[in-house]
Amino acid sequence: MKSNNFKYSFFSAELTLSLIVSLLTISVLSSSCSKNSAAPAAAAPTTNSGASCTGSAANFTGTSYSPITTPTPSGYNQMTVNVDLDTGSIPSGGVSCGNYANEVCVSVTVCALDGVTCKTIPNILLDTGSYGLRVFDNLLPSGLTPISSGGSTLSECVLFGDGSSEFGPVEYAYVQLGGEPMVAVPILAINSTYGTPPAACTNSQSSPDISPTQAGFNGILGVGLWAQDCGNGLYNSSSDGTADCTTDSANGQYFTCTGGNCGCGATVAMQAQVKNPVASLPSDNNGVILDFSSTNPGATGATNATGTLYLGIDTQANNASTGFTAMPADPGASEFFTKFNAYSSSTYIPAFIDSGSSIFFMPTVSGLTDCSVSHGSGWSGIFCPGSNTAESAVLWDVNLGASQSVSFHIGNGYSLFNSASNVFNNLGALSGTGAGAYFDWGLPFFFGRKVIVGIKGVNDTGGALGEGPYWAL
Amino acid sequence: MVYFIILFQIFSSANLDFLPRAQASLGDDSSTVEADRRVLRGTRVAVVTHAKFAVHEIRSGGMSLKEYAASNGKIFAVTWTGTHQPDLSSIFGTYFEDFSQANQAAVKVKGVRSHARIEGKKVTVERFGHMGSIRGKAFVQSLLPQGVSLDEIK
């Protein structure tokens, strides 16, 4: 709980006073903007910072569109999921699935709002650690609908845990998952040259991802615990500690683009925020089940693997939750806890389950030698134990109610990465140290089991898992 | 303490108009925290004082940025947590170039899109998390006050 405490204290009486203070400060500053902008620019000319935003922040309200119902064949609520194996023929400008180890891919059909100008895009990273669909602009069908306000369009910069980022315009598209009805949702058309990105994006590491070749995927389908990728700062009626993108233009995520300059923060109504398309489905909308129960790469890895993504939980015969235990997550950070048995055994460390992380990111313990010891500093952080090492941990829900024991192995990362295999259940690397320790249960965790992802604020009405956000095992 | 912050903000905002735009933090004096607050368009909370350092916190749009100042006022570490990350070039100040060079020099191993931990010549940066919950820590080892453990930087 320690690491999440600050989130719950955001909206305190102290903050109310601070807001008043802030307003006072703004009024003092307002007359000085021209002076500041006339001074020699402190920032590099190719970046924007909030301070250089001189226009008024736009508010994007968006529009609502109805689903397009298509014939629903048997098993229409499931999608094939491949690891390091193409999910379709590669379009021009796109990449294969398997640019790196443990890359998990699906195909998604994206259409313009006419419902007929469509493209099916293969090799999109399936990511339970993010929310919403993001596809490189050059692979999308033409004629998607930008979200605009006055003369400005809406753009987004999203950051991932590894410091990488995606930038581009937010546009409405019809999205089809498996054989489900097509639903209109805002998606991110990844395009690093769409205007001048905000500094939050360009200075996070080097620059936003520029192409499928550089990123290693054609897009990312985020089917994690949230229905949209920002929200309104509320879980039911109380604060969840996350940003309120509907009223706060300093959310650091959404930006208004005017004349090619995307430096000003934007407020965005819920229906205009990039949305987890699962949450928009007419009926199978309470979460997903990712099933790799028949995959076992063993100690030396496998060439590729295939699994199934079921849309909805307890909504159909094929997505029953019988026998699963719900493990609620914190509605703000969307994390729960892990006790890693060999590591400071009295400590509950923050944890999450993320198919988009290709390996386990975790604290180090005795026996997990760092690869840099034998293979140079470039391999720093990756574990290279002498043999395939057995480890164990206990997952705990955020309220320390339900728990589940997990056994796993960590193998020699240098040998595995340099082998002919691509699919591994035993790759690990160092997460934060000391008070920054965390456990990211990456794709290796999914092999040999089914994992249920319950979306925040939605009930498992047909079953016993309760209200999301939760993972169930 | 709250009244102090009000006075401090009005006073410093008015005066900063006549000074060069200071946005750096790591290695600078804690008085630059206010410049960061302006860049972030955030709000400040009361300074928390520990035996060997003080923590200055700025909150902005679902993100919390903490700057750790030694008793001589010098900022030796920063941490962030929340839905997004601050502009690191602003927060790292003169140490950003050190971070950038180390980041670009880090060997990219297939399957690991970026290293979670970057060690520059002077600054060490750890980043982790997932969309909606991004965290990071950066510290300058040579500025770390004697007797302060890295575990105290949270």
Closest Cβ–Cβ partner in A6, A164, A216 for B64: A6
- Classify residue A392 by its DSSP letter: E
Q: Which residue has the higher pLDDT, A217 or A346?
A: A217
Q: Could you report the per-residue pLDDT of B99-152, keeping only the tens digit for each?
A: 988 887 776 655 555 456 788 999 998 888 888 888 889 999 999 999 998 888
Do residues A230 and A334 both lie within one domain? no
Phi, psi (5° rounding) for residue A153? -115, 160
Gyration radius of chain A's alpha carbons: 22
Residue A470 pLDDT? 98
Q: Spell out which residues of chain A touch residue B60, defining contact as CB-CB under 8 Å.
A: 250, 252
Task: Please report the residues numbered 93 through 132 in chain B whose beta carbons come closer than 8 angstroms to any beta carbon of chain A.
Answer: 96, 100, 103-104, 106-107, 109-117, 119, 126-132
Is residue B98 within 8 A of residue B88, CB to CB? The reply is: no
Give the Cα separation of A91 and A219 in Å (integer). 13
**Distance separating alpha carbons of residues B81 and B65, to the nearest angstrom:** 7
Cα distance between residue A101 and residue A40, in whole Å = 47
Q: How far apart are CA A159 and CA A222, in angstroms?
A: 13
> How far apart, in whole angstroms, are the C-alpha atoms of residue B37 and residue B34?
5
∠ CA B120-B124-B125, nearest 5°, is 110
Asked if the model's pLDDT at residue B9 lies above 80, the reply is no
Chain B interface includes A242 (CB < 8 A) = yes
Count of other CB atoms within 10 angstroms of residue A20: 13
Give the domain ranges of chain B: 2-143
Size of interface A-B (CB pairs under 8 A): 243
Distance of alpha carbon A153 from the chain centroid: 23
Higher pLDDT, A79 or B20: A79
- Tell me whether A435 touches chain B (CB under 8 Å): yes
Report pLDDT for B21.
Answer: 36
Half-sphere exposure of A31 (CA within 13 A, CB side): 5
The residue type at A139 = L
A251 vs B: CB within 8 A: yes
Percent of chain A with pLDDT over 70: 86
Q: What is the pLDDT of residue B41?
A: 78
- Residue of chain B whose Cα is closest to the Cα of A215: B113
Rounded to an integer, what distance in angstroms lies between the CA atom of residue A139 and that of residue A120?
Answer: 9
The reported pLDDT for the residue numbered B82 is: 85
Q: Does residue A29 lie within any of the structural domains?
A: no
B1 confidence band (pLDDT: 50, 70, 90) = very low
Inter-chain CB proximity B130 and A224 less than 8 Å: yes
Rounded CA separation A314/A311 (Å): 10
Q: A131 at the B interface (CB within 8 A)?
A: yes
Least Cα distance to A166 among A123, A125, A226, A220 occurs for A220
* CA-to-CA separations, A11 to A64, B45, B71, B79, in angstroms, rounded: 31, 12, 30, 20
**Lowest-confidence region among A133-137, A190-194, A225-229, A234-238:** A234-238
pTM (2 d.p.): 0.86
Structural domain range at position A275: 55-280
Mean pLDDT, residues A110-128: 97
In this complex, is the C-beta atom of A33 within 8 Å of any C-beta atom belonging to chain B? no
The CATH number that applies at residue A213 is 2.40.70
Please check whether residue A303 lies inside any domain of the structure. no
The residue among A161, A155, A113, A104 whose CA lies nearest residue A134 is: A155
Average pLDDT score over residue span A80-105:
96
Looking at the predicted structure, is the pLDDT value of residue A438 above 80? yes
Burial class (CB in 10 A: 0-12, 13-18, 19+), A347: middle
In a domain, A238, yes or no: yes
The span from the CA of B154 to the CA of B149, in Å, is 11
Domain boundary among A280, A307, A342: A280
A11 has pLDDT over 60 = no
Q: Is B5 on the interface with A (CB under 8 A)?
A: yes
The pLDDT score that the predictor gives to residue A53 is 66
pLDDT of residue B6: 32
Q: What are the pLDDT digits (tens) for B22-36?
A: 355 899 888 888 887
Q: Say what the pLDDT of residue B61 is.
A: 80
User: How many CA atoms does the CB half-sphere of A462 hold within 13 Å?
Assistant: 17
pLDDT of A140-195, one tens digit each?
999 999 999 988 999 999 887 767 789 999 999 999 999 999 999 999 999 999 99
Q: How far is B7 from chain A (nearest CA, A)?
A: 9
Q: Looking at per-residue confidence, does A281 or B102 come out higher?
A: A281
Higher-pLDDT residue of A50, B152 = B152
- The answer, yes or no, to whether residue A6 has pLDDT greater than 70, is no
pLDDT of the residue at A160: 77
Whether A286 maps to a domain, the answer reads: no
**According to the model, what pLDDT value does residue A346 have?**
66
Q: Does the beta-carbon distance from A358 to B111 stay under 8 Å?
A: yes
Task: Read off the pLDDT band of A449 (50, 70, 90).
Answer: very high
Contacts of B106 (CB under 8 A, 6+ apart): A378, B114, B115, B118
B34-45 burial string, b = 16+ CB within 10 Å, else e? Answer: bbbbbbbbbbbb
CA-to-CA separations, B143 to A412, B38, B101, B119, B148, in angstroms, rounded: 36, 25, 20, 15, 11
Any domain includes A40: no
Q: Has residue A313 been placed in a domain?
A: no
- C-alpha A385/C-alpha A429 separation (Å) is 11
A275 lies in the same domain as A392:
no
- For residue A334, pLDDT beyond 70: yes
Residue A412 covered by a domain: yes
Looking at A261, A280, A299, the residue that finishes a domain is: A280
A378 at B interface, C-beta within 8 A: yes
Six-digit token string for A102:
């443990």
Average pLDDT score over residue span A226-231: 95
> CB distance A39–B82 less than 8 Å?
no
Mean pLDDT of A332-338: 93
Q: What pLDDT was estimated at residue A313?
A: 98
State whether residue B143 sits within 8 Å of chain A by CB.
Answer: no
Q: Rounded to whole angstroms, how far apart are CA atoms A95 and A4?
A: 38
- Please check whether residue A163 touches B, CB under 8 A: yes
Query: Are both A246 and A394 inside the same structural domain?
Result: no
What residue has token string 């700057």? B67
- Using the Cβ of B11 and the Cβ atoms of chain A, whether some distance falls under 8 Å is answered with no
**B85 interfacial to chain A (CB closer than 8 Å):** yes
What integer pLDDT is reported at residue B112 of this predicted model?
Answer: 55
A17: in domain: no
| Residue in B45, B62, B152 closest to A18 by CB | B45
Mutate to test the interface with A, among B83, B126, B154 (most CBs of A within 10 A): B83
The predicted-structure confidence for B38-66, as pLDDT tens digits, reads as follows 877 788 988 999 999 999 999 888 889 99
> According to the model, what pLDDT value does residue B43 have?
87
Does one domain contain both A261 and A352?
A: no
The DSSP 8-state label assigned to residue B150 in this structure reads: G
pLDDT for the residue A345 = 63
Highest mean pLDDT among A198-212, A347-361, B105-119: A347-361
Element (H, E) at B71: none
- Total domains, chain A: 2
Give the separation between CA B85 and CA B136, rounded to whole angstroms. 8
Which of A107-111, A229-233, A342-346 comes out lowest in average pLDDT?
A342-346
Whether residue A274 is found in the same domain as residue A347: no
CA distance A378 to chain B (A): 5
ipTM score: 0.76
Place of tokens 């520990």: B50
- Asked if pLDDT for residue B16 goes beyond 70, the answer is no
Does the structure show a pLDDT above 50 at A209? yes
Q: Say which residue, B101 or A392, is predicted with more confidence.
A: A392
Q: Which of A280, A304, A332 is the last residue of a domain?
A: A280
Contact call for residues B138 and B24 (beta carbons, < 8 A): no
pLDDT at site B88: 85
Distance CA A281, CA A79 (A): 14
